[in-house]
Amino acid sequence: MQKPKRRRNPHARHPNILLIAIDSLRADHMSCYGYSRHTTPHIDRFSLGGTIFQQTYSPHIPTTSAYASMLTGCDCFDTQVVALRHKGGMTTKVKTLPEILRRHGYSSCCVGFTGNAASRGFDEYLNHDEVWGTWSQRPLHKAERLNEVAQPKIEQLHREGKPWLMLLRHMDPHAPYLPPPPYDRMFYHGNEFDRHNRSMKPVFDFKPFRDFHASFLPPGITDKDYVIAQYDGAVAYMDACLQQIFTQLEAMKILDNTIVVINGDHGETLYDHGCWFDHHGLYDVTLHVPLIIRYPQRIPAGLRLNGFNQHKDLVPTLLELAGIKTRRQFEGRSLTGLIGGKPANYDSEFYITECTWMRKHGWRTPQWKFIIALEPDFHYMPKRELYDLVQDPDENENIAQQNPDVVKMLEKRMARFIRKRQTHTGSLNPMMTQGAWAPGAPFKSSRTAYNTLHIGGPKQANKLQAGKS
């Protein structure tokens, strides 16, 4: 007599994974990370049900290289991705999270991140409108347009009965900052046209970005604090829209069976280091990103962890939380170790790279930040920069010339790490193979870089994001 088939327990299936990946979000501009402005009240409340990681870093700037690590569990030596305008696809030697999950019965969907080398492997890609716009097209409802696409898809995936992975790429904190009312005036009550305020003069004097900034800022603006308030307003607007997603998951009774991650790809330079309202420069305003994970079955509620971690640690974490075993080797490690207190930190010193508007790399330790330019940059900065992160956490004083021994020591550590990773992967450091990382590159002088690199209006910025010149 044939035995009846055992019915599969629906509660035994793998959990859903919702990765809320927010472009250009600074951790220090979120109220749950201590910011004085109440920019993220809904995320703050949501985070009480999960764990906040306070020392998460994006070591490979900008978007393409950051997502490559975030979605593979690997560093740039494995992915061979360091440039925004990465040429071709990402190496097939690494597998992305959706590719791994597909073998375990997952469906996957990516919203707002189509055509990038790092976003390979999703079953479906959906896009939405109002990501880019000018002052005359204000306001932009970026997060609302994303929700209009994402929320029906969540319902569809749930009806299909399989575990699912969804990536939502939010662009609200990414320029152009054009949030709708009341968020546009929520954090600013001054006169943005005060003729005695000249803080915007250096912004518009910087020729490579001048046209882009002029395209989305009010004509005649003089006060840089107005622009910072628009950034904060965009974050607050996005936060309110995210609450709709949280409420939907709860109403569908799948919130507690969904691993929800809030992560940033990189931060943002607002009025910092002369890198006006963008995300270049290997400073901590760009490297330090938020990471919040909520999954009541495995992640403690209300916990804050200070241990160092990076994007490469996310995929191993998600696979462990989802109960998925794989033979693949990752450069990152599951964050459950940090949660358990063993060890207190992962890599407390690490290799950092950027390849958007400047080609630089460096080495960060808990005390020191060392940066070396691989070719002259368009800010006319010295080739070597050194900052004491204990005495000068905002990285305002370059002390490289006064500390040649420290520079030599950090350069040796970085070189030793590069040799080790090249030997282990059998691949060259991709920072040394990016000769065409930007039109006109490599540059022989800062003047050439300054006169060559240029963002026009939002359409040109969108092309650059898509890896087109």
* CATH code where residue 71 lies: 3.40.720.10
Reply yes or no on whether the pLDDT at 468 is more than 90: no
Query: Is residue 5 a part of any domain in this protein?
Result: no
Mean pLDDT over 171-179 rounds to 97
Query: Is residue 105 a part of any domain in this protein?
Result: yes
Contact in structure between 93 and 56 (CB atoms under 8 Å): no
pLDDT digits (tens, 9 = 90+) for 133-174: 999 999 999 999 999 999 999 999 999 999 999 999 999 999
Do residues 389 and 319 share a domain? no
- For residue 89, give every residue at least 6 positions away whose Cβ sits within 8 Å of its Cβ, in sequence order, or none: 117, 120
Do residues 401 and 428 share a domain? yes
Number of domains observed in the structure of the chain: 2
Do residues 359 and 343 share a domain? no
- The percent of residues in the chain predicted with pLDDT above 90, rounded, is 89
Beta bridge partners of 205: none
Query: Is residue 33 a part of any domain in this protein?
Result: yes
Lowest-pLDDT range of 193-197, 312-316, 358-362, 439-443: 439-443
**Nearest-angstrom CA–CA distance, 213 and 272:** 15
**Nearest-angstrom CA–CA distance, 305 and 338:** 8
Mean pLDDT over 88-101 rounds to 95
* CATH code where residue 453 lies: 3.30.1120.10
Do residues 294 and 364 share a domain? no
Do residues 131 and 250 share a domain? yes
Reply yes or no on whether the pLDDT at 1 is more than 80: no
Residue that is last in its domain, among 347, 371, 387: 347
- Domain extent for 410: 352-465
Reply yes or no on whether the pLDDT at 379 is more than 60: yes
Contact in structure between 37 and 26 (CB atoms under 8 Å): no
Query: Is residue 242 a part of any domain in this protein?
Result: yes
Do residues 329 and 364 share a domain? no
pLDDT of residue 171: 97
Reply yes or no on whether the pLDDT at 5 is more than 60: no
Residue that is last in its domain, among 301, 324, 347: 347
Contact in structure between 292 and 50 (CB atoms under 8 Å): yes
**Nearest-angstrom CA–CA distance, 79 and 76:** 5
Query: Is residue 365 a part of any domain in this protein?
Result: yes
**Nearest-angstrom CA–CA distance, 172 and 240:** 12
User: 288-294 and 258-264: which strand pairing?
Assistant: antiparallel
Strand (E) or helix (H) holding 415: helix 404-425
**Nearest-angstrom CA–CA distance, 37 and 226:** 14
pLDDT of residue 344: 76
Contact in structure between 89 and 119 (CB atoms under 8 Å): no
- The percent of residues in the chain predicted with pLDDT above 70, rounded, is 95
Do residues 124 and 186 share a domain? yes
Reply yes or no on whether the pLDDT at 458 is more than 80: no
Query: Is residue 3 a part of any domain in this protein?
Result: no
Query: Is residue 81 a part of any domain in this protein?
Result: yes
Q: Which residue has the tokens 């209006």?
A: 457
Contact in structure between 22 and 56 (CB atoms under 8 Å): no
Do residues 257 and 323 share a domain? yes
Instruction: Kindly write down the DSSP assignment for every residue of 26-41, as one continuous string.
Output: -GGGSGGGT-SS---H
pLDDT band at 429 (very low <50, low <70, confident <90, very high): very high
Mean pLDDT over 220-233 rounds to 98
Residue that is last in its domain, among 347, 374, 399: 347
Mean pLDDT over 425-429 rounds to 95
Mean pLDDT over 453-465 rounds to 69
Strand (E) or helix (H) holding 253: none
pLDDT digits (tens, 9 = 90+) for 248-285: 999 999 999 999 999 999 999 999 999 999 999 999 99
Contact in structure between 395 and 284 (CB atoms under 8 Å): yes
Instruction: Kindly write down the DSSP assignment for every residue of 269-298, as one continuous string.
Output: BSSSTT-TTB--SSSHHHHEEEEEEE-TTT
Number of H helices, E strands in the chain: 14, 14
Mean pLDDT over 168-193 rounds to 97
Reply yes or no on whether the pLDDT at 12 is more than 70: no
Do residues 214 and 321 share a domain? yes
Reply yes or no on whether the pLDDT at 90 is more than 50: yes
Do residues 219 and 76 share a domain? yes
Do residues 360 and 460 share a domain? yes
Q: What is the mean pLDDT of the chain?
A: 94
Provide the token pair at 18: 């919702």
Contact in structure between 33 and 289 (CB atoms under 8 Å): no
Query: Is residue 4 a part of any domain in this protein?
Result: no
Do residues 256 and 399 share a domain? no
